[in-house]
Amino acid sequence: MTIPVARLNHAVLYVRDLDASTAFYGQAFGFHEIAREGPMAFMRAAGSENHHDLGLLALGEGAPRPPRGVTGLYHLAWEVPTIEALASASAVLTELDALTGASDHGATKSLYGRDPDGNEFEVMWMVPRGQWGQYENAAVVQPLDLQREIARYGAASG
């Protein structure tokens, strides 16, 4: 018997500064703060049917940043609906000095970033399932040529 997971409903992150983190996730992803209870803020993505998509729990300014390369959560992945939205995300993350990388995984096209506390995240667009081809059962990491992918998959190309 297994647990019948339908999808990830929300994530909760430890942060140092609740106001700085809510501002970042609002600017980067358009999340809206829907409630604040003590050291916690609850945020919802536009159009979401979840109560909240992201919870932030403040530990205080003296809390250490998460060390890289230790056991624990590596990153969260936020999916965007179009390749053009991924390009817009690149511009937003660059403006916020939060973009740390970009990869072509074949079936997905991904950007990587860090929030003010060093929590890592991915913003990804999934290629339509019927176009996965050789990537159906493969997990590759290649450089992302975002302009090439927009030309290939963008609305103007169809």
Residue with tokens 């939205």, as numbered in its chain: 85
pTM of the model: 0.88
- Residue 155 sits at φ, ψ, to 5 deg, of -60, -35
pLDDT digits (tens, 9 = 90+) for 47-85: 999 999 999 999 999 998 878 888 888 899 999 999 999
pLDDT for 6 beyond 70: yes
Residue 108's contacts (CB-CB under 8 Å, 6 or more residues apart) are 124, 125, 126, 127
Write out the CATH class of domain 74-158. alpha beta
pLDDT (mean) for 148-152: 96
Question: What's the CA gap between 5 and 88, in Å, rounded?
Answer: 31
Long-range contacts (CB closer than 8 Å, 24 or more residues apart) made by 130-139:
132/106, 132/107, 134/106, 135/105, 135/106, 135/107, 136/107, 138/106, 138/107, 139/105, 139/106
Q: How far apart are the C-alpha atoms of 126 and 81, rounded to whole Å?
A: 8
User: What superfamily does domain 9-62 belong to in CATH?
Assistant: 2,3-Dihydroxybiphenyl 1,2-Dioxygenase, domain 1 (3.10.180.10)
Q: Which pLDDT tens digit goes with each residue over 10-34?
A: 999 999 999 999 999 999 999 999 9
Q: How is the chain split into domains, by residue range?
A: 9-62, 74-158
Q: Does the fold of domain 74-158 match that of domain 9-62?
A: yes
Question: Can you give the pLDDT at residue 43?
Answer: 97
